[in-house]
Structures are given as C-alpha cells and as structure tokens.
Amino acid sequence: MKGRRRRTPIKKVYFYQMIRFHAINGRLTNAAEATLHVSDLAILRGYGVFDFFLIRNGQPLFLEDYLDRFFNSARLVELEMPVSRDELRDQVLELKKANALEKGAIRLVLTGGYAEDSFTPGSPNLLVLAHAYHPPMGLTHPEGVKLVLQEFQREFPEAKTLNYGYAIRMRHQLQDAGAYAGLYHQDQQVLESSRSNIFFVFEGRVLATPADGILPGITRMHILKIADTLMPVEVRPISTSEIRHAREAFLTGSNKPIVPVIQIDEQIIGNGKPGPVTRQLSAAWEDYIQIR
Ligand SMILES: Cc1ncc(COP(=O)(O)O)c(C=O)c1O
C-alpha cells in the first residue's frame, strides 16, 4: 500500500450508553458477571421463551402488552413463571432505573432451567436484560425491501421461543438473493417473516394481515388499532397466490415499526415503491407512540 493514501471510511458513530446491570432471577447483577450454568436447558436443548421491547424517553413502550405475551409464551411451552406479573414489572422498572436507561430495550428471557439429566426442565431461570440501543424511529428502509418466500412455520407459532435456528441458518441464502428477510408460508398460506409480521394492501385500500399460525406481534396489534379508524381492515387467512394482487406490503416489528416491502421473490409489489397506505400508517404510528 506504499505511496497510496488510505481513506478512512466514513462511519455513523453512535454513543451507546454503558449497560451496568442485568437482573438474574430477580437479583441485580453486574452485567459482566451475569451468567447461567451450562446445564440450563436453553443451552442444551434450546428450551425457553423471551420477549423484547423498547425503552423510549425513559419509559417502556407497551409494557403491559409485552408482559401479556411473555406470560402466554411461557404457558404455551409449559414453563412456570417464577414470579408474579407485578414482580416482573417491578424488576423491569428497577433494572431500567439502575442503568438510568433513557433510550434502549429490555429483553425478558425464561429458560428451561438447570437439568440434571440434560432433558427434564428444572426451575426456570428468569433473566431481565438491559440493552443500550438506538431504536430506528420512523420509516426504516424508506426505499423498501425484498422478501423471499420460504416454506416454514415456527414450532410454537404463538410463542416467542428462543429457537430462531431456521432464520439464522437461512441468512446466507437471503444475502445471496439480495433479500432483507424470508416470508414464511405453509399449505399455500402466508404466515409471517422471520422477525416481523406481514401486512398487504389490496384494492380499495383494504389492509390485510394473516390471522393465525403466527406470533401475535405487539406492533401488528397496534397497527391494526390505528388502521381501524383509517381504512377497511381484514385479519384473515391470506394465500400465497394473493400476493400478486397486493398493491402494497410492509413488515412490522418492535425494533423497526414499519418496513415497506417492494418485492417478494420475483413479484414486484405495486409500482415497486413504498405506497401511500404504508406511508400514511408510518406517519400515524409516529403520532400514536408520541402519546404513549
Ligand atoms: C417470528 C416473529 N414474528 C413477528 C414478530 C413481530 O412482533 P413484535 O411486533 O411484537 O416485535 C417478531 C418479533 O420479534 C417475530 O420474531
């Protein structure tokens, strides 16, 4: 490289706040020492559930909804929650305070616990983890993204389990296809994306999202509430053959509220640009969360 000047790449620099504590089984623990024993079933068998929500302006966004879902996930995989809902809420608020977390996220994890025989669940371990995180607000990927259809359904669709093995393994295939994520389908029915829910806009500004076989997304739930006052809404089975009639499509998820979808496999959605309904809902979402 002699004689050639090396250019420093221009990088966006974020100053992430230092996370000092996590809560392990209700005890505030130095983040660097927050560990589980190797016999936990989350490690040995991938058995456990989790949830994830944002802290915005020092407040958890939609905390009660995420608590509902976390308890429901535990029930669906038959793990017993070691604390009451009030105790868990207190742990979240205490951890947020201990880290002086203004902007970030909290991850709740309930594991299968320590298993003597490496199979039978023990007492579940409950982790409340703080993340320094800059949530992208507003329309991320404003130019829109491509999805690739993948025939797959998660094992316990309505539970947020720790098992994202399929999605993680598929990441190279997606990269090669220039795709942002997979769009799962089963028996000709569209389900969800690997880490988000899917919405379509059909003729007449009809907003539609699959009804079953999916994670009931918290963002999805609130988008449905917002849209209900603005346009016709349908929560129903959506077949893969309907994709070609979609005028618009977008993904929703906690850390990227609305991501416009402009292509699914070789099918261009609408005119290949984020559409007016997607933009309208994105703006409405901004207003909606301001008052939460
Ligand atoms: C499989 C799956 N579907 C949907 C979602 C979107 O849910 P939420 O809006 O609650 O983040 C997620 C989020 O992680 C997910 O993992």
Ligand 1: nearest atom to the Cα of 215: 3
pLDDT band at 292 (very low <50, low <70, confident <90, very high): confident
Helices (H) and strands (E) in the chain, counts: 7, 15
The band of 291, judged by pLDDT with boundaries at 50, 70 and 90, is: confident
Ligand 1 pocket test target in 49, 63, 195, 288 with most atoms within 8 Å of CB: 195
CB atoms within 10 A of CB 75: 13
> Which of 69, 197, 219, 225 has the most ligand 1 atoms within 8 A of CB, as the residue to mutate?
197
For ligand 1, the distance from its centroid to the CA atom of residue 129, given in whole angstroms, is 18
Find the 195 Cα to ligand 1 centroid distance in Å. Answer: 5
Q: Is this structure's pTM higher than 0.85?
A: yes
Over the stretch 14-46, which tens digit does the pLDDT of each residue have? 566 789 999 999 999 999 999 999 999 999 999
CA of 186 to the centre of ligand 1 (A): 18
Are the beta carbons of 61 and 141 closer than 8 angstroms? Answer: no
Query: For residues 277 and 181, what is the distance between their CA atoms, to the nearest angstrom?
Result: 21
Q: Name which residue sits closest to atom 7 of ligand 1, judged by CA.
A: 217
pLDDT confidence bin for 289, thresholds 50/70/90: very high
pLDDT at 274 over 50: yes
What atom of ligand 1 comes closest to residue 51's alpha carbon?
14
Domains of the chain: 21-132 (3.30.470.10), 145-290 (3.20.10.10)
Q: Which residue has the tokens 């000047």?
A: 5
Atom of ligand 1 nearest to the CA of 220: 9
Q: Which atom of ligand 1 is nearest to the CA of 255?
A: 11
- Name the packing angle between helices 63-76 and 218-228 (round to 10°): 130
Band the pLDDT of 2: cuts 50, 70, 90: very low
Write the pLDDT tens digit of every residue in 208-246. Answer: 999 999 999 999 999 999 999 999 999 999 999 999 999
Dist. CA 157–CA 76, nearest whole Å: 10
Rounded to the nearest integer, the mean pLDDT of the chain is 94
pLDDT higher at 7 or 266:
266
